[in-house]
Amino acid sequence: MLNNKNIRTDLALEAHELFKQQAMNEVLRERGEPPGVDVENAGTQDIKITRVKVTSPTGEASIGKPMGTYITLEVPRLKENDQVLYENTCKELAKELTGILKLGEKSTILIVGLGNWNVTPDALGPKAVSSVMVTRHLLNYVPEQVDNGVRPVCAISPGVLGITGIETGEIVKGIVDKVKPDVIIAIDALASRKMERVSTTIQIADTGIAPGSGVGNKRMELSKATLGVPVIAIGVPTVVDAATMANDTIDLVMDSLMKEAGQGTEFYKMLNTIDRDEKYQLIREVLAPYIGNLIVTPKEIDDIIERVSKVIANGLNIALHQGITLNDVNRYVH
């Protein structure tokens, strides 16, 4: 089973990868997947799609993620200013969202942009909300000016506890009780354990979300259990834990040294006896007095948040409204 205390990642894909790396049972290795976890791969070289389904309590315990469906889009070139890739990513995201949302013709959707708009790596949710087609008020007051197939969508960026003094979950619960949406879509910045996945990976989950969990500041979760409405979470990793980066770097060095030394040598045996989980804890203890609980984000994070937030917003715009294309979005977004 995955020791979540030693790993900081919000991605089910990475939790699954870690379990496979840590598995010591040779039978399990041959099988390829932990019990209670189904994995399906799809997509293209530019947009790789992985669908992880946790189907039992055993699978939940294995990778440390609640039972449900986790869809990951990996787009390594998303950082590049490629308009064709940008549009294709929006469309693929919309396609995956359509499959997981299962909306009725007149379903009301509440979109929640989680995070602190004053902190760039945490501003993904509020940024995405600003580009979402908000239509509930139009359908209420000027329905004759709204195209057929447009669903009622409302949105909010509730801020964070440090700004409002109110738990995000409490704010959302009050809105849900008043608006009574059929589904909630929560957008939040996540943490990854690999730098190459920062800003290039989008995760969709039907299990809800716990605001702040990416930086070790977990708050009241937003889920069907707490809100009484299905909650779909969309997240993009924007930060990496510094201790995890240092740990992975040392692992790469150790693997390289072991390969050079060759099996059977004393140096190889010494390196092979090092407990890698204990090594991670040691790194955290060594770093703590100097840098504390440090997280790392790319220097171009401003451009990244701007680009990725629009990908998420346009993916939602296409998925939530029938017949809407990227060309129609500017009619509703200001």
| CB proximity list for 33: less than 8 A, separation 6 or greater | 20, 39
Cβ atoms of 326 and 87 within 8 Å: the answer is: yes
The pTM (predicted TM-score) of the whole model is: 0.82
Rounded distance, CA 124 to CA 190, Å? 9
Q: Where along the chain do its domains lie?
A: 4-243+294-331, 244-291
- Rounded to an integer, what distance in angstroms lies between the CA atom of residue 292 and that of residue 214? 16
pLDDT tens digits, 175-221? 999 999 999 999 999 988 777 888 899 999 999 987 655 455 556 78
In three-state secondary structure terms, 165 is: coil
The total of other beta-carbon atoms located within 10 Å of residue 107's CB is: 15
> For 324-333, how does the pLDDT look when each residue is reduced to its tens digit (9 = 90+)?
777 777 565 6
The answer to whether residues 324 and 315 touch, using CB atoms and an 8 Å cutoff, is no
Q: Domain 4-243+294-331: give its CATH code.
A: 3.40.50.1450
> By the 8 A CB rule, do 268 and 258 touch?
yes
CB neighbourhood size of 67 (10 A): 15
Residue 96's nearest CA partner among 125, 74, 67 is 74
In terms of pLDDT, which residue wins out, 242 or 185?
185
Q: What percent of the chain lies above the pLDDT cut of 70?
A: 87
Average pLDDT over residues 258-271: 85
